[in-house]
C-alpha cells in the first residue's frame, strides 16, 4: 500500500472523539492535542461490502484512497502542499461556477459548465471511495464519491485511452442487463439540457463528456445497468461508460466517480424513489480508519439546519451564521455570512469569508500564545511550532448554523499539520465551502426530502 505522508500520520495520532453537534452552548474552552506514537494502529479491512441500515436503506463502507484499506494501486500520496494547491483550484472553480449560476460575481465560461464534475486540476482532491458492483453478473468497481458531481462514470471496454485502475475495466458486453441510451431517450435529452451531452445525432447512442479545468476530459456512452450494493441493488442505474480520456485524468487510479450531487443524474436522486430522499456519510478521521455511506438514511437523531437549494442543483447549501472560539462567539457581522456556504465532500479545507477568517485566526492565535508561530504553509497562514511541547492545548472551535445548530469540531477539524485548518476565500461576497476536514467523524445527513442538512457527533 501507499506510504502515508506526515500530515496524515499526524491526523492519526491526534484523533479524539470530542466532536459535538448540538443546539446548545455547553462547549469546552480548550481541547488537548495528543502527540502520541507515529506508528499506525492495527487496521481491520475485512468488512462486508455493504450492510442494510436500520432505516431500510443500505450502508457501504467508505475508505480513504491512500489508506491501508484502499484497493487502488499503490502510489505515493501527495504532499500536504500539493493537496492544498489542488484544493485551491477546486474551491475557486466551485465558487466561480456557483456565483455565475446565481447571477452574482464571477462569470463562468461556457467551457467550464459542460458538467458539474469539473474539479479544477484533476480528481486529486477527492479522497474517499466506495466499492460497488455494476452489471449482471456484478463486476466490482471502486469509485470516488463527490457531493459536487451529478454524473457517475466508470471506465469501460473497449477503451482507446484509459488509466490504470484498481479493478478490471467494466465490460458492457459481459452484462446481460446493460443498455446504452439512444439519442431519442428522455435520459439523453435531460443530459443535453443540463449541458452534459456530447453532440448526439438522431438514431445513435447517447454520448456524454466530463471536462476538467486543466483541459483533461473523459467521454463515452451514457448507459444504464444494475448497480449492486451488497445484498441490495438498483435497477437501471444511469452512468457514463468512459471510453476515452485525455490529460491529467489519465493519472487517476480509481475506477470512476460516484456523483452524489442534487441533480437528476446523481446516485442520490436516482435512488430517492426506492431508498428514500436522504443519504448520509461519515468521513473517517484518518486514512487508517473507515467511514460509511448510507443511501436511504434515517433522518432522526440529527441536529438539523435548513438545506438551501439553487439553480446550481449539484450543490447542497447551508447558512453559516457564526463562529465560536474557546466557547465565545466571535464579533462578526451577520451580513458577512449572507453569501451562504455549501457542504462539499471533495473540498479539503473550509473556506470562510475574509472578515470571518481574520476574526477566527486572531482569536485562535490569542488562545495559542504559549506556542511560537511557524512559517505559513500554502494557503495556511496561522501555523505554530509544537516542537518539544506535550500536551498541546488548543482552543475549541465551533461552527454555528441557522436554527441554532452548533457543530463543535474535533481536534482533527481544527489543526492540520500544526496549522489552523481553515482558509479565506476571495471576498466577503463569495460563497463559503464547508470542507471535508471539518466534516470528519461527523455523520452528515443530506435530507433532500425534508430540506435539511444534519449533523451527528462521533459517528466514525
Task: Find, among 456, 164, 142, the residue nearest to 283 by Cα.
Answer: 456
Q: Which three cell numbers stand for residue 179?
A: 443498455
d(CA 380, CA 413): 14
Is 132 in contact with 267 (CB distance < 8 Å)?
Answer: no
In a domain, 1, yes or no: no
Confidence check: pLDDT of 432 > 90: yes
Mean pLDDT of the region 194-202: 59
107 — phi, psi (to 5°)? -70, 150
Q: Which residue has the higher pLDDT, 200 or 7?
A: 200
Confidence (pLDDT) at 252: 74
pLDDT tens, position by position, 319-351: 999 999 999 999 999 999 998 999 999 899 999
Q: Residues 432, 121, 269, 127: what is their CA dihedral angle, to the nearest 10 degrees? A: -80
pLDDT at 120 over 60: no
End-to-end CA distance of the chain: 22
From the list 87, 146, 255, 408, the catalytic residue is 146
On the question of pLDDT at 382 being above 50, the answer is: yes
Domain membership of residue 74 (yes or no) is: yes
Q: What is the CA radius of gyration of the chain?
A: 21
Question: In the structure grid, which three cell numbers stand for residue 440, read together?
Answer: 470528519
344 catalytic residue (yes or no) = yes
pLDDT at position 43, please?
60
Cα–Cα distance between 331 and 323 in angstroms, integer? Answer: 9
Q: For the segment 202-234, what is each residue's pLDDT rounded down to a tens digit?
A: 568 998 887 765 567 788 999 999 999 877 889
Question: Is 114's pLDDT higher than 50?
Answer: no
Write the Ramachandran bin of 230: left for phi over 0, alpha for psi from -120 to 50, otherwise beta: left
Residue 25 resides in a domain:
yes
Q: Catalytic residue at 428?
A: no
CA dist., res. 93 & res. 87, Å (int): 10
- Which is the catalytic residue, given 167, 252, 255, 344? 344
**Cα–Cα distance for residue pair 126/129, rounded to 1 Å:** 8
| Number of domains the chain is built from | 1
Residue 185 counted as domain residue: yes
- From residue 357, how far is each of 141, 313, 420 by CA, in Å? 40, 27, 10
What pLDDT does residue 148 have?
85
pLDDT: which is higher, 116 or 85: 85
Instruction: Using alpha carbons, select from 244, 265, 115, 267 the residue that is nearest to residue 169.
Output: 244
107-124: b or e for each residue (b if 16 or more CB lie within 10 Å)?
ebeeebbbbbbbbbbbbb
- The reply to whether 318 falls in a domain is yes
Mean pLDDT of the residues in the chain: 80
Structure confidence at residue 246 (pLDDT): 74
CA-nearest of 247, 227, 251 to 238 is 227
- Which sign does the torsion angle of CA 98, 100, 105, 108 carry? positive
Q: For the purposes of burial, counting CB atoms within 10 Å of the CB of 436, is it exposed (0-12), middle (13-18) or buried (19 or more)?
A: buried
Residue 162 pLDDT grade (very low, low, confident, very high; cuts 50, 70, 90): confident
Q: What percent of the chain shows pLDDT beyond 90? A: 45
In a domain, 394, yes or no: yes
Does residue 106 form part of some domain?
Answer: yes
| 238 domain-assigned | yes
Sorting pLDDT into bands at 50, 70 and 90, what band is 143?
very high
CATH assignment of the domain containing 417: 2.40.70.10
Determine the structural domain holding residue 101 and report its residue range: 6-40+47-456
239: confidence class by pLDDT, cuts 50, 70, 90: very high
Please spell the DSSP secondary structure of 296-325, one letter per residue.
S---SS-EEEE-B--SSTT-EEE-EEEEEE
Q: Can you give the pLDDT at residue 260?
A: 93
In this structure, how many other beta carbons lie within 10 angstroms of the beta carbon of residue 84? Answer: 22
For residues 387 and 86, which has the higher predicted lDDT (pLDDT)? 387
* Residue 419 and residue 387 in contact, taking contact as beta carbons nearer than 8 Å: no
Residue 10's CB is within 10 A of a number of other CB atoms, namely 21
Instruction: Round to whole Å and give the CA distance between 362 and 32.
Output: 20
pLDDT at 154: 94
Amino acid at each position: 500500500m501507499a506510504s502515508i505522508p506526515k500530515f496524515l500520520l499526524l491526523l492519526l495520532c491526534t484523533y479524539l472523539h470530542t466532536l459535538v453537534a448540538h443546539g446548545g452552548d455547553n462547549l469546552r474552552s480548550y481541547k488537548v492535542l495528543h502527540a502520541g506514537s507515529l506508528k499506525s494502529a492495527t487496521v481491520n479491512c475485512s468488512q462486508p461490502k455493504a450492510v442494510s441500515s436500520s432505516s431500510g436503506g443500505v450502508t457501504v463502507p467508505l475508505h480513504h484512497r491512500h489508506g491501508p484499506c484502499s484497493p487502488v494501486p499503490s502510489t505515493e500520496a501527495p504532499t500536504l502542499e500539493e493537496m492544498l494547491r489542488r484544493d485551491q483550484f477546486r474551491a475557486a472553480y466551485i465558487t466561480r461556477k456557483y456565483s455565475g449560476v446565481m447571477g452574482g460575481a464571477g462569470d463562468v465560461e461556457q467551457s467550464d459548465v459542460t458538467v458539474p464534475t469539473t474539479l479544477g486540476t484533476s480528481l486529486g482532491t477527492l479522497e474517499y471511495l466506495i466499492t460497488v458492483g455494476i452489471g449482471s453478473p456484478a463486476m466490482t468497481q471502486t469509485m470516488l464519491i463527490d457531493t459536487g458531481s451529478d454524473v457517475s462514470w466508470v471506465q469501460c471496454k473497449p477503451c482507446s485511452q484509459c488509466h490504470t485502475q484498481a479493478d478490471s475495466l467494466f465490460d458492457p458486453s459481459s452484462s446481460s442487463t446493460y443498455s446504452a441510451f439512444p439519442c431519442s431517450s428522455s435520459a439523453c435529452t435531460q443530459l443535453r439540457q443540463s449541458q452534459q451531452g456530447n453532440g448526439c445525432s438522431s438514431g445513435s447512442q447517447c454520448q456524454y463528456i466530463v471536462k476538467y479545468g486543466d483541459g483533461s476530459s473523459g467521454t463515452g456512452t451514457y448507459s444504464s445497468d444494475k448497480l449492486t450494493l451488497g445484498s441490495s441493488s438498483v435497477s437501471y442505474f444511469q452512468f457514463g461508460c468512459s471510453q476515452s480520456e485525455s490529460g491529467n485524468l489519465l493519472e487517476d487510479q480509481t475506477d470512476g466517480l460516484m456523483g452524489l450531487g442534487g441533480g437528476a443524474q446523481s446516485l442520490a436522486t436516482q435512488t430517492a424513489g426506492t431508498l428514500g430522499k436522504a443519504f448520509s456519510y461519515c468521513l473517517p478521521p484518518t486514512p487508517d480508519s473507515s467511514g460509511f455511506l448510507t443511501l436511504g438514511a434515517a433522518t432522526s437523531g440529527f441536529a438539523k439546519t435548513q438545506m438551501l437549494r439553487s439553480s446550481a442543483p449539484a450543490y447542497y447549501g447551508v447558512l453559516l451564521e457564526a463562529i465560536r472560539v474557546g466557547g465565545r462567539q466571535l464579533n462578526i457581522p451577520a451580513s458577512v455570512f449572507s453569501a451562504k456556504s455549501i457542504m462539499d465532500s471533495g473540498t479539503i479545507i473550509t473556506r470562510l469569508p475574509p472578515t470571518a477568517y481574520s476574526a477566527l485566526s486572531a482569536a485562535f492565535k490569542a488562545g495559542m500564545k504559549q506556542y511560537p508561530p511557524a512559517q505559513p504553509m500554502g494557503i495556511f497562514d496561522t501555523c505554530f511550532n509544537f516542537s518539544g511541547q506535550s500536551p498541546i492545548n488548543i482552543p475549541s472551535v465551533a461552527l454555528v448554523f441557522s436554527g441554532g445548530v452548533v457543530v463543535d469540531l474535533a481536534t482533527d477539524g481544527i489543526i492540520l499539520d500544526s496549522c489552523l485548518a481553515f482558509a479565506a476565500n476571495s471576498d466577503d461576497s463569495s460563497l463559503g465551502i464547508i470542507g471535508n476536514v471539518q466534516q470528519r467523524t461527523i455523520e452528515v445527513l443530506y435530507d433532500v426530502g425534508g430540506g435539511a442538512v444534519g449533523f451527528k457527533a462521533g459517528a466514525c
